[in-house]
Structure 1
């Protein structure tokens, strides 16, 4: 366990404590004070200024948030972008057709003129951040209700965002940390002209499929490539043939040296969400109520989708991204149930909370903290059934377009037709865009079957908490089987297809929307999602305040050793080492921290959806034609392990050595450490990465796109 002396800094209640270098998602602006000395001991050769600088180019300038949900990195002076295959999946599927299936067969642009623009894709560059905790918290007091508190905070946030946007040049986001005990603002610049440069075939980029997802050993080439374009002055611009590749402030050089056990490794990225401060009863609620409902609902939706996807290549392309996302979270939630149960996380947290409660009820602390744990525990006891209900309902809305689309589109049309003619002309492009969003990847027979199945499941399993009066009535009338009801509703509905919506708009009768049977069900479900009783509002209000005070009190009392804020899609740095897992007979590697092409070929199943391998790749492997990308020991590396602390949103993040050179791309975690969003397990938690040598070998040798590799900067001082 490593020792780090935390400097006392404004807004942070930090005390000198022991931390593990591999645990923590750290703000870049505090690297010098909190982490730099420790990182140097582990192998970092960069200054903190080379990692994060406002006035000069630094590593931060090469890291982008990719389309709002993943991370990517700039790897050339012409803004070549590298991210995961699964991050680019939706864009690749959108650009594909049954005749030219880039998702299945791969794609490599022969030059910049062949690069392809998806309809909607952007990258976000991080410019700077700062602490505004004192300013925001000066606007609130303990006597306020949570609603009034939030209103005051949002008013101040709006001012801060306006002050720092420079007239709209930048996107500014103020975010809460430590459960609303601190606030920071982040300044970004968005580029919307992002084009596909290359992708390996799905049999490489998604090798192992759902079977290997969250598993180790792994042999997945999970990468894809894009390019950022700007106007001639380097400013963000909408797509135009006149745009040119962006000249980035910084891009990452590539290391071909490879990795060894205990090598330093750091990852910069945009982790989406962790809940390390979640109370014990919140974890128990997830294990017993929320996650089982999520798992069951997601699996039902996947199974119904798969039937139609397997029958038709066009349908498969339409639903590939949705299915993959559903499958990923389905396995994640089941893994969370298993891991949190096995690790005894609830018991660990309960012991910690008992210690905190003892401190909280000391005379000097009782007024502020005495009732915190009782309030929190009471909240979870009263919301367990709601949690189960809400997760069944959320999976209905996520997997069945008929669950949400008729209400969203119907309400939009009602607003549209209530406007005057001039306003309608202004709103029409947005209406058409929504119609295209709903029906652009839509197959009615599939949607109908998924909707029937999810309604049957929800009306059965969600009834313990309570259905809406209308849903209870429909359930009783249909004896719990919505097959006939949905079939009839679809046959009569405006929202059954894009064509029927457009036909309605040619001769609109507004009353037909509110009378529409699909709109009626969808709107009822949407209303149920948003519904909150006065009692629930009071529970939420008390819980939010108690949770905030629990975090404040645990930090003040040092009951919790956590000194970094939970992830919330803001740029973070995590550092650790290349680190193996115990020897596994399924892995041919000498040390269980990497995998090889030999191991990949052992998994090969000709024609199999998950484990097929392209013929050319097999030929190259047979000939040992690995070029400069082979390890010095002679094998072709594929994936490797580090002990970095990451979560969803880090997908596509660069894995860097101590010099700031790219050695891999993070793409997954291991199932044994899947509870890491809640509690970090130093022994088990690992990050699974694509070795950059495998990436370049696929581009160069397999795809024959050496011109793309030539665009990158290979560090020549550490070649094999």
Structure 2
């Protein structure tokens, strides 16, 4: 069944593939969007041609010279990598007044511009048979995908992928221009870009200026090139006009970006596993790791800078996972899914001749959850950056002995430059004694895990916590040149090495490979059964007139909604705007509520200019909308009815976090930076006049 037959959405639920948007004409018209749906579906036309993926975050072009705007936390790694204790761009901010002053974002920084999407389901699934084992089926599908990618990447300017939709019901080949020279242009101080820090993360009201600018560079021929001083700014064929005219409560918005993953179609058993086992274990692991990092970096300014991005990332995952658990406690989503599942199974019993599907479905999901427990234990037992790098290097050496088409995805020739960049990047986020402390503590935590969840044969191969210090003394992998040199060595060199972490990687390889092989079997069975289930679910939902959109999977999606307040509990109403006066109210002079003096002065003197909202009487900072978003949507362009940029998505309210599993239109709200605050900071606080001149900005009529 093709998703082209998907029914219309209700409320503002749905993370839609662009090609589905013509089906939503009535919905878009209902909320006041004036852009033709057919135009939104065309990746070669405005505004979709201005959307950019950063490989984990979203962004958009705002000039014809490759300038993109995204979230501060999405560019945080680039800021951190260019910072030192003496030149701390994290706390002081960074602004390049000229192109020559722009800094390299990092060896692994990329921009991806999607230009082609095609349905390749038939090509991927051709040749699969019911008689195949799970492993055989998975490997067959992966080989078909690798062939489709290789064919697509004959032009090396592009990076291609073939993700599945609806858990394997459909596959699309996606072609993206991959820009390899990315530079940091401007990031405000984290006193603006991360105002409120982890205290305010996922909270409302919010007063965070979560924005930064990057620039794409290419060779003089206009094609992607490795970083070079000879490169020139990418000429983006399209970019968004910035509107400072503002929004008001009830106004429509469109949001486009690359949401990570959602689990809207998972079964009640999967929700209970996440709620009762997986998420609590992750929360405990995140907290323990953060505690170790904090203790190991305390009093060492260099170490604190190097681990700032690492800690920020873990903290964000922690807060989100805690929010998911809180959401599960507040609303029994498993019970809601139980009712939906019972209704579906009743419908299915009347509309399907094959009733064995549901029993098989329950069995493959149980095997998936059981293997997840072991994979989590493995991740704890190997939580060392040096060990992870050693394992990657050894696996690359083993895979490099095979024909490229037969290598494991992620270790083909197309992946070597990415691996090299990750190995080089470690230099900016690694300190030996910190990694040593993290690994020692991780092994102590692993030893306390229930033995039935530990991979068989692993315990005897692991170092003891007491012996970890010796591993670091007997390894040279902490040296970047040494680490990169291993890229050119064969498997025999690894097997004969006396480097302690190389030896450990070799020793652990078979256990890791065994887990991989078991994962292939489980995934292959999931990929055989889940699509049959999803096809039935789609038919069931269609019969009810309910939305059928694929779960998010890091591909380009469009969602829509309105600027809207919400009530998190009885008697409490929040939103939809916060203002610069709220920054002053929260200001304590201490992190994370330490606003720059120049910003406080501008508020005190009411230097609002054209960015003053006539209704609010001041400059808005953040606003809420009912748009359907998730992780990966960070930095997504928020557009008005005319497709002009009016904000950047950066977060969700705490009550909304469970939308990854269940969309509750009454309380689901996304949090956005109001573009007027961004422009006001650029003008009044950081004097980024060069960038204000570069962008096309539509100001309010005087």
Taking structure 1 as the reference length, what is the TM-score of the superposition? 0.87
In structure 1, how many angstroms separate the alpha carbons of the residues matched to 2:584 and 2:266? 42
Alignment counterpart, residue 626 of structure 2, candidates 634, 643, 649:
643
In structure 2, how many angstroms separate the alpha carbons of the residues matched to 1:642 and 1:665? 11
In structure 2, how many angstroms separate the alpha carbons of the residues matched to 1:554 and 1:415? 39
Measured at CA, do residues 174 and 430 of structure 1 come closer, stay the same or move farther in structure 2, by a change above 3 Å? closer
2:72/2:194 contact within 8 Å kept: yes
Alignment pair present for 1:297 and 2:281: no
Alignment counterpart, residue 463 of structure 1, candidates 451, 474, 479:
451
Alignment pair present for 1:45 and 2:34: yes
In structure 1, how many angstroms separate the alpha carbons of the residues matched to 2:70 and 2:622? 15
- SS of the counterpart of 1:172? strand
Structure 1 match to 2:10:
20
Equivalent positions of 1:515-554 (< 5 A) are 517-523=500-506, 527-532=510-515, 540-554=523-537
Measured at CA, do residues 526 and 600 of structure 1 come closer, stay the same or move farther in structure 2, by a change above 3 Å? farther
Alignment pair present for 1:408 and 2:399: no
In structure 2, how many angstroms separate the alpha carbons of the residues matched to 1:377 and 1:415? 35
Of 308-317 and 73-82, the range deviating more from structure 2: 308-317
1:471/1:524 contact within 8 Å kept: no
Measured at CA, do residues 260 and 392 of structure 1 come closer, stay the same or move farther in structure 2, by a change above 3 Å? farther
Alignment pair present for 1:664 and 2:647: yes
1:630/1:636 contact within 8 Å kept: yes
In structure 1, how many angstroms separate the alpha carbons of the residues matched to 2:524 and 2:381? 28
Structure 2 match to 1:614:
596
Alignment counterpart, residue 91 of structure 1, candidates 73, 78, 82:
78
Alignment pair present for 1:673 and 2:656: yes
Alignment counterpart, residue 30 of structure 1, candidates 4, 11, 20:
20
2:243/2:646 contact within 8 Å kept: yes
Equivalent positions of 1:119-134 (< 5 A) are 119-120=106-107, 121-134=109-122
2:112/2:177 contact within 8 Å kept: yes
2:656/2:667 contact within 8 Å kept: yes
- SS of the counterpart of 1:272? coil
Equivalent positions of 1:493-642 (< 5 A) are 493-495=475-477, 510=493, 517-523=500-506, 527-532=510-515, 540-558=523-541, 561-582=546-567, 592-606=575-589, 608-632=590-614, 633-642=616-625
Structure 2 match to 1:224:
212
Structure 1 match to 2:408:
none
2:638/2:645 contact within 8 Å kept: yes
Measured at CA, do residues 285 and 536 of structure 1 come closer, stay the same or move farther in structure 2, by a change above 3 Å? same
Measured at CA, do residues 586 and 498 of structure 1 come closer, stay the same or move farther in structure 2, by a change above 3 Å? farther
Measured at CA, do residues 408 and 511 of structure 1 come closer, stay the same or move farther in structure 2, by a change above 3 Å? closer
Structure 2 match to 1:4:
none
Alignment pair present for 1:377 and 2:362: yes
In structure 1, how many angstroms separate the alpha carbons of the residues matched to 2:654 and 2:90? 26
Cα offset, 1:79, TM superposition:
2.2
- SS of the counterpart of 2:650? strand
Equivalent positions of 1:475-490 (< 5 A) are 482=465, 484-490=466-472
Q: Deviations over 1:165-189 (max 9, x none)?
A: 4633433322221121112222211
Q: Deviations over 1:99-158 (max 9, x none)?
A: 211111001111112111233222111112222334444443444434443444444444
- SS of the counterpart of 2:360? helix
1:77/1:248 contact within 8 Å kept: yes
In structure 2, how many angstroms separate the alpha carbons of the residues matched to 1:575 and 1:202? 29
1:403/1:525 contact within 8 Å kept: no
Equivalent positions of 1:416-435 (< 5 A) are none
Alignment counterpart, residue 492 of structure 1, candidates 474, 482, 485:
474
Alignment counterpart, residue 11 of structure 1, candidates 2, 6, 13:
2
Cα offset, 1:268, TM superposition:
0.4
Q: Deviations over 1:241-265 (max 9, x none)?
A: 3332222221111111222111001
- SS of the counterpart of 2:339? helix
Q: Deviations over 1:226-280 (max 9, x none)?
A: 1122334432222333332222221111111222111001100011111111111
- SS of the counterpart of 1:64? strand
Cα offset, 1:87, TM superposition:
0.4
Alignment pair present for 1:78 and 2:65: yes
Cα offset, 1:534, TM superposition:
8.4
Measured at CA, do residues 551 and 403 of structure 1 come closer, stay the same or move farther in structure 2, by a change above 3 Å? same
Q: Deviations over 1:63-118 (max 9, x none)?
A: 1001x111101111222210000100111111112221111100111111211123
Measured at CA, do residues 252 and 191 of structure 1 come closer, stay the same or move farther in structure 2, by a change above 3 Å? same
Taking structure 2 as the reference length, what is the TM-score of the superposition? 0.89
Cα offset, 1:652, TM superposition:
0.3
Equivalent positions of 1:316-465 (< 5 A) are 316-362=304-350, 365-367=352-354, 370-381=355-366, 384=369, 386-395=371-380, 397=382, 400-409=384-393, 436-465=424-453
- SS of the counterpart of 1:167? coil
Measured at CA, do residues 663 and 183 of structure 1 come closer, stay the same or move farther in structure 2, by a change above 3 Å? same
In structure 2, how many angstroms separate the alpha carbons of the residues matched to 1:635 and 1:289? 47
- SS of the counterpart of 2:173? strand
Measured at CA, do residues 264 and 380 of structure 1 come closer, stay the same or move farther in structure 2, by a change above 3 Å? same
Structure 2 match to 1:695:
678
Structure 2 match to 1:6:
none
In structure 2, how many angstroms separate the alpha carbons of the residues matched to 1:373 and 1:291? 26
In structure 1, how many angstroms separate the alpha carbons of the residues matched to 2:640 and 2:556? 18
In structure 1, how many angstroms separate the alpha carbons of the residues matched to 2:562 and 2:313? 29
Of 495-504 and 183-192, the range deviating more from structure 2: 495-504
Of 427-436 and 183-192, the range deviating more from structure 2: 427-436
In structure 2, how many angstroms separate the alpha carbons of the residues matched to 1:206 and 1:264? 27
- SS of the counterpart of 1:125? strand
Cα offset, 1:711, TM superposition:
1.4
1:403/1:451 contact within 8 Å kept: no
Structure 2 match to 1:3:
none
Measured at CA, do residues 235 and 610 of structure 1 come closer, stay the same or move farther in structure 2, by a change above 3 Å? same
Cα offset, 1:213, TM superposition:
0.8
In structure 2, how many angstroms separate the alpha carbons of the residues matched to 1:428 and 1:696? 40
RMSD: 3.4
In structure 2, how many angstroms separate the alpha carbons of the residues matched to 1:174 and 1:470? 34
Residue-pair matches, total: 685
Equivalent positions of 1:240-319 (< 5 A) are 240-319=228-307
Unaligned runs of 5+ in 1: 1-9, 419-426
Measured at CA, do residues 631 and 537 of structure 1 come closer, stay the same or move farther in structure 2, by a change above 3 Å? closer
Cα offset, 1:516, TM superposition:
5.0
In structure 2, how many angstroms separate the alpha carbons of the residues matched to 1:598 and 1:585? 27
In structure 2, how many angstroms separate the alpha carbons of the residues matched to 1:135 and 1:59? 31
2:204/2:574 contact within 8 Å kept: no
In structure 2, how many angstroms separate the alpha carbons of the residues matched to 1:711 and 1:261? 30
In structure 1, how many angstroms separate the alpha carbons of the residues matched to 2:139 and 2:457? 32
